Amino acid sequence: SRTAGYEIGIDLTGDQAAVDAVHAYGNLYAGIYVESSASYATISHSVFDHVNSLNPGNFGSGAFGVLLWGDHNTLKRNVFANQNTCSPQFGSEGSGVEVYHGSHNMIKYNTGWNDVDFTELGGAGATGNVYLNNKFYAPGEFLVTRGSGDHADGPVKSTVLIGNVAHGAVVSYDWRPGEGPLLIMRDNHVSRLSQDGGFIDKGGQVIGF
């Protein structure tokens, strides 16, 4: 599928779509684009490897295994590897799972390695996304999210991490007083946490990370 000058592998709209056992790679902006109109989709048992195209209108965006704008979708038992391409804006760009405005999605039992980020969350209003029992191996970051201090892409609230094993950082930034938790973490094994804006004391809960 081609849209806005870039190509995607599969474009999902509507309710209750199911994608199973696909292999997405190569010159794609996103292996699967779950549009804002898509809900209750399931993406499973698929491989996203070297998805490597940037948006020609924005060299800071692209190389996404799954681009997730919709709500109440499930990603389970997929592999996200090597979403990592050169970006004139950031030096490198790419995410296994990119959440933008999407809320209440479940990302569980997936494996990733060598992505710039296993997952990055942005888009004001996004909330309640859950990461359960995923495994990610460095050198990239496991998760990046932001508060309302990021005026372009935040805030993203109440992201829940449970039982993940992450040999890569969990990064939270630009939390502002009064906006509630950015991250709620329980029973994770992560290599490091990196926050500003008072995440641990004021912007979230970390329980047995």
Residue 197: pLDDT band with limits 50, 70, 90: very low
| Digit-coded pLDDT (tens) for 37-70 | 999 999 999 999 999 988 777 666 778 999 999 9
- Band of residue 87 on the pLDDT scale cut at 50, 70, 90: low
pTM beyond 0.75 = yes
Query: What are the start-end ranges of the E strands in 79-195?
Result: 79-81, 85-87, 91-93, 95-100, 106-108, 111-113, 117-122, 130-132, 135-137, 141-146, 159-162, 165-167, 170-173, 183-186, 189-190, 193-195
Please name the amino acid found at residue 24. A
114, amino acid identity: N
Query: Would you state the pLDDT for residue 155?
Result: 93
pLDDT, residue 24, reads 97
Whether the pLDDT of residue 206 is over 60: the answer is no
Question: 92-137, pLDDT tens digit by residue?
Answer: 778 999 999 999 999 999 999 999 999 999 999 999 999 999 999 9
Partner residues linked to 122 by β-bridges: 100
Of the pLDDT bands very low, low, confident and very high (cuts 50, 70, 90), residue 186 is confident
Number of Cβ within a 10 Å radius of residue 95: 31
Confidence check: pLDDT of 199 > 50: no
What pLDDT, on the 0 to 100 scale, is given for residue 90? Answer: 66
pLDDT at position 136, please?
96
Averaged pLDDT, 132-152: 91
pLDDT band at residue 2 using 50, 70 and 90 as cut-offs: low
Phi/psi class of residue 89: alpha, beta or left (left: φ > 0; alpha: ψ in -120 to 50)?
Answer: alpha
